[in-house]
């Protein structure tokens, strides 16, 4: 088991660069297997645990995947439909997208149901609904699989009206329909930048997808997709995490290749809190302040305030003057980080979907546990500002979405080390 030991109180300065976006990488890997030719992907965060798990999963079903630094070459011509692992705990949520891609390619598919998750109940009804709209019969088997089949060898284009702009269901609709017969229209689609990235990759493979980044996406099915080369976008959640790290340590640094246009709602909130943020052609410059103002946050789908950033913003609000609120609307329950932050002296009360945060003078180092990826990032942020030593266990959760975060923070002047028991 690995832990992080952090001695807080160091002002962070310098520059940091971002990895490729995890939530883009996981989807483009799946989409790339729709072609029977080589797809070369650049800027891939191949040291992130979630990306490594996904690559293993694709190899298990016969895809040829090679990695070289941050380049991944993938060839889906030898995929077979039958070898997916069945240990439910190890099945990531993106296996739902694999169901869509295999169904789109072969007309039938069977994948294990995604395993447990620490963000509370995460449903897949919209994924099933979308695949059914495209003509598939989908059923859950008693041994924990999702099985889908379409009447002919190809899905049929259709109108898919999502009653919530789910990121995953939008991506599944895109992936499964690009090889379908006819036209598909996705209404109330999600607009996250990672979805735009996915569609850009598929279009460069020969798909015909229009309207991504708006709430109506139109896909004209094609018979075949071809090989291509593609560079994925930088990770906006990492950018946001480093922005808060600069802010909370009263530091000042450049987030190289950070995409300001992907982070507007977070930037607006950080500015309200008193953080100076500007952008240049090189990236995003952040300058912390000595005093933080309280504010109210409501998480929303893109371009609203990202749910993934609310845990990360919580330590900053814990040190702000006065009372802040954080209302979570995307997940039913996403306050795992609160109990851990309370061990560090934060004053937070959760009532239903809202955390009430009363600012304190300082956070104290403590022994805490990363209960999920962003909760873990929140603890790292808190540790950077806390008095004395913070010890974070379950570091593998943080590794799921940040490549060697400790090295990057050390380069900025943080006192953080990874220790192995
Ligand atoms: N939902 C349904 N039915 C569905 C699908 C989703 O009710 O069929 C609900 C979920 O239960 C959840 C909400 O809708 O409460 C949001 O789910 P969504 O489908 O939009 O999210 P996702 O595709 O499962 C992605 C990211 C998450 C991020 C969310 C929201 C990936 C791999 N994951 O999940 O990222 O929080 O979008 O922006 O892209 C993370 O990176 O730490 C992370 C959790």
- What is the β-pairing status of strands 183-187 and 159-161? parallel
**By alpha-carbon position, which residue is closest to atom 29 of ligand 1?**
167
Distance in Å, CA 119 to ligand 1 centroid: 9
pLDDT given for residue 92 in this prediction: 76
9 Rama sector, left if φ>0, alpha if ψ -120 to 50, beta otherwise:
left
Model confidence pLDDT, tens digit, residues 115-167: 655 666 678 999 999 999 999 999 999 988 899 999 888 999 999 999 999 99
H-helix segments, 300-421 = 310-318, 336-343, 373-385, 395-399, 405-411
Return the ligand 1 atom nearest residue 119 CA.
Answer: 44
Q: For the chain, give the percent of residues with pLDDT over 90.
A: 89
Return the ligand 1 atom nearest residue 194 CA.
Answer: 39
User: Got the DSSP string for 62-88?
Assistant: T-EEEEETTEEEEEGGG--SS-----G
298 DSSP 8-state letter: E
Return the ligand 1 atom nearest residue 167 CA.
Answer: 20
Distance in Å, CA 308 to ligand 1 centroid: 10
Model confidence pLDDT, tens digit, residues 6-16: 999 999 999 99
* Residues within 6 Å of ligand 1 by CB: 23, 26, 93-94, 122-127, 164, 166-169, 307-308, 330-331, 373-374, 401
Q: Which of 166, 176, 241, 333 to mutate to test the pocket of ligand 1 (most atoms within 8 A of CB)?
A: 166
Model confidence pLDDT, tens digit, residues 314-337: 999 999 999 999 999 999 889 999
Return the ligand 1 atom nearest residue 301 CA.
Answer: 38
Which of 2, 3, 23 minimizes the C-alpha distance to 236? 23
Residue 97 structure tokens = 């997208």
Model confidence pLDDT, tens digit, residues 240-275: 999 999 999 999 999 999 999 999 999 999 999 999
pLDDT given for residue 93 in this prediction: 81
Return the ligand 1 atom nearest residue 128 CA.
Answer: 8
Helix (H) or strand (E) holding 351: strand 347-351
pTM: 0.97
Distance in Å, CA 195 to ligand 1 centroid: 12
Q: pLDDT-derived band of residue 406, with 50, 70 and 90 as boundaries?
A: very high
């Amino acid at each position: 088991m690995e832990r992080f030991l952090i001695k807080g109180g160091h002002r962070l300065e310098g520059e940091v660069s971002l990895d490729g976006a995890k939530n883009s990488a996981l989807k483009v890997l799946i989409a790339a297997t729709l072609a029977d030719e080589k797809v070369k992907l650049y800027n891939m965060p191949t040291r992130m645990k979630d990306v490594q798990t996904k690559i293993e999963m694709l190899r298990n079903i016969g895809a040829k995947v090679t990695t070289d630094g941050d380049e991944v070459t993938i060839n889906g011509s030898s995929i077979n439909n039958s070898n997916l692992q069945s240990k439910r705990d190890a099945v990531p949520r993106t296996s739902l997208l694999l169901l869509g891609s295999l169904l789109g390619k072969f007309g039938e598919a069977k994948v294990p149901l995604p395993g447990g998750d620490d963000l509370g109940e995460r449903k897949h009804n919209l994924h099933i609904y979308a695949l059914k709209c495209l003509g598939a019969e989908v059923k859950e088997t008693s041994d924990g699989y999702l099985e889908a089949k379409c009447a002919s060898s190809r899905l049929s284009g259709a109108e898919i009206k999502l009653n919530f702009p789910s990121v995953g269901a939008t991506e599944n609709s895109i992936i499964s329909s690009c090889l379908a017969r006819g036209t598909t229209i996705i209404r109330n689609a999600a607009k996250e930048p990672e979805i735009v990235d996915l569609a850009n990759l598929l279009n460069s493979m020969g798909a015909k997808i229009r309207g991504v980044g708006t709430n109506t996406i139109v896909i004209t099915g094609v018979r075949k997709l071809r090989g291509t080369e593609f560079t994925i976008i930088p990770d906006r959640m990492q950018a946001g995490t480093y922005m808060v790290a600069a802010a909370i340590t009263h530091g000042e640094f450049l987030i190289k290749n950070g995409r300001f246009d992907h982070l507007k709602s977070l930037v607006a909130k950080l500015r309200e809190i008193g953080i100076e943020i500007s952008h240049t052609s090189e990236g995003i410059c952040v300058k912390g302040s000595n005093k933080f103002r309280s504010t109210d946050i409501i998480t929303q789908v893109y371009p609203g305030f990202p749910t993934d950033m609310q845990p990360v913003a919580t330590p900053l609000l814990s040190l702000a003057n006065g009372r802040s609120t954080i209302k979570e609307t995307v997940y039913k329950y996403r306050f795992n980080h609160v109990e851990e932050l309370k061990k560090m002296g934060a004053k937070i009360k959760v009532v239903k979907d809202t955390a009430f945060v009363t600012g304190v003078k300082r956070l104290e180092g403590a022994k805490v546990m990363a209960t999920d990826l962003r909760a873990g990032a929140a603890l790292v942020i808190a540790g950077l500002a806390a008095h004395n030593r913070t010890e974070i266990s379950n570091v593998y959760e943080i590794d799921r979405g940040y490549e060697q975060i400790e090295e990057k923070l050390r380069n900025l002047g943080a006192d953080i080390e990874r220790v192995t028991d």
